[in-house]
Structure 1
Amino acid sequence: MTTLIVGGGWSGLAAAVRLLEQGESIHLVESAKQLGGRARNVVWNAQTIDNGQHLFIGAYERTLKLLQDLGADESRLFQRLPLNITIHHPNFGDLKLADTPHLPWPLSLAIKTWQLNGFAVFVQIFRLIFNARSQKKSDDISVKAWLEQQKQSRRLIEQLWEPLCLATMNTPLSEASANLFAHVLLETFRQRDYADFLIPQVPLGDTLPAYAERYIQQQGGQISLKTRIKSLVIHNNKVTAALTDNGQTIEADNIIIATGPHTSQQLLGKYWGAKDASSHPIVTVYLQCASDIHLRSPMLGLSGTTSQWIFDRGDGLLAVVISGPGSHLKLTNEQLIEHVVNELLDTNIVQPSEFIRGYVIREKRATFRSTVGVCSDRPTTCSPVDGLYLAGDIINNLYPATLEGAVINGEKAAELIMKINTVS
Structure 2
Amino acid sequence: MKNILITGGAGFIGSNLALKLITKGYVVTVLDNLSTQIHGDNPQETSPLYRSIIGKVNFINGSVTSKRNWEKALIGQDVIVHLAAETGTGQSMYEIQKYVDVNINGTAIMLDILANNPNQVKKIIIASSRSIYGEGKYKSIEKGIVYPKHRTEASMNNGDFSVTYFGCDSPLELMATDEESKIHPSSVYGITKQNQEQMIMTVCPTLGIFPVAFRYQNVYGPGQSLKNPYTGILSIFSTQIKNGNGINIFEDGKETRDFVFIDDVVDATILGIEREEANGEVFNVGTGIAIDVITVATTLVENYGVEVPITITGNYRLGDIRHNFADMTKIAEKLNFKPKYSFSQGIKKFTDWVNKQDVENDNYAKSIEEMKSRGLLK
Tell me which interval the TM-score lies in, with the shorter structure as reference length. Answer: 0.3 to 0.5
Relative to the length of structure 2, the TM-score reads: 0.33
Higher relative contact order (CA 8 A, sep 6+): 1
Larger radius of gyration: 1
Higher strand share: 1
